[in-house]
Amino acid sequence: MHAFAHSGEDEAFRSELCAWLAAHLPAEAVPEAEAERHRFLRAWQRTLAAGRWVGVHWPREHGGRAASLQEQIIYTEEMARVRAPAILDPIAVNIVGPLLIRYGSEAQRARLLPPILPGDEVWCLGFSEPGAGSDLASLRCRAERDGDAWVVSGQKVWSSKAHIADWCLLLVRTDSDAVKHRGISCLAVDMRSPGITWRPLVQLSGRSEFNELFLDEVRVPPANTIGPVNGGWPLVRAALAHERGTLWAFEFKIRLQNAAQALVDLYRRRGIGALRQDVAQAYIEAQIFAAHTLRILPRLHDAADAPPEAALQKLFGSEIQQRTCELAMALLGPDGALSGAAWQEAYLYSRSVTISSGTSEILRTLLAERALGLPRG
């Protein structure tokens, strides 16, 4: 049962999308090799953009469809139903683009938005640092004004796709005397600028989608400052609201439900009775998570800032994902190292999900303070 009643217009939207997917969905699988995979995903994103099926939540004047919450749900459902490939650059579409639309200048929107939807220019995020991850306001990467430029020096880490990115949405400290939540500015930095180097971080799965970024006196035009100088913290919160927002929440709901069903199917094949209750518990948790997602979607959709419910979804969703993958590996036993490649990679990747977008410890603190009103420790 859907938590939302779909109108005739919603179903017309679904029919249009289904017809388009039937005509354009790639028949071939996504390649495994990184360079080939990037070419494939860029071509697929460009095809989607030509049909106006990327960034459906963007305003029409910027190439989107101004999709309603119901239409965004339909879009996510149908893309999952046909197992459509991912796009090359969800960071730009779901985080950078909405940020520029809301806070960018007219000149910034005119230059930076058009290449995003077709994947012509790729973005990475320069948020986390070795000493400022979940406590992002402690960032130390600094930008100092020198005549007609910001001069940026510092280090960033966990920057997805920095090795292929054209632009970086970079958070820097522009006032070292201000309290830590102030004195932060947001810059759009050309990744071809002199002084930028990167180093890949190899994951347990063998992939290298994350990178360390090093900035050594990188000169950035002041016109590339997004929003007010020293007023970047509200932009950070808005970016996190999009990252943990409507589309992410609903996509994660579908992924967890699919993983829970796959776990049940695996249990039926392996038949390890000692794990029956654990598998049932994981399946129940995924269904409860799905129901809770549908209940809070309107709040996530309407929020300009990240509400406590977004932290709740990320916290429990990531922990349910870890438990599901752990159970799958227990069911596979020694075979998991030989024939369980999909579950094996999912298990290895799941170790990171309670860290990315805020660690479980930080999110529990946030919920205690903002949702329960408990005093700061």
Active site amino acids: 243
Length, in residues, of the chain: 377
Buried b (16+ CB within 10 A) or exposed e, 33-65: eeeebbebbbebbbbbbeeebbbbbbeeebbbb
CA distance 169 to 189: 7
247 pairs with which residues across the strands? none
Decide: 242 and 99 in contact? Cβ < 8 Å.
yes
Q: Tell me the C-alpha to C-alpha distance, in Å, between residue 116 and each of 75, 96, 101, 113, 362.
A: 19, 9, 12, 6, 32
CA distance 212 to 155: 7
- Please name which of 85, 93, 83 lies closest in space to residue 118, comparing C-alpha atoms: 93
CA distance 77 to 67: 14
Q: Hey, what are 288's tokens?
A: 């409860």
- Please name which of 319, 300, 302 lies closest in space to residue 361, comparing C-alpha atoms: 319
Task: List the Cα angle 1/241/46 in 5-degree steps.
Answer: 80
CA distance 176 to 132: 15
Enter the DSSP assignment of 164. Answer: T
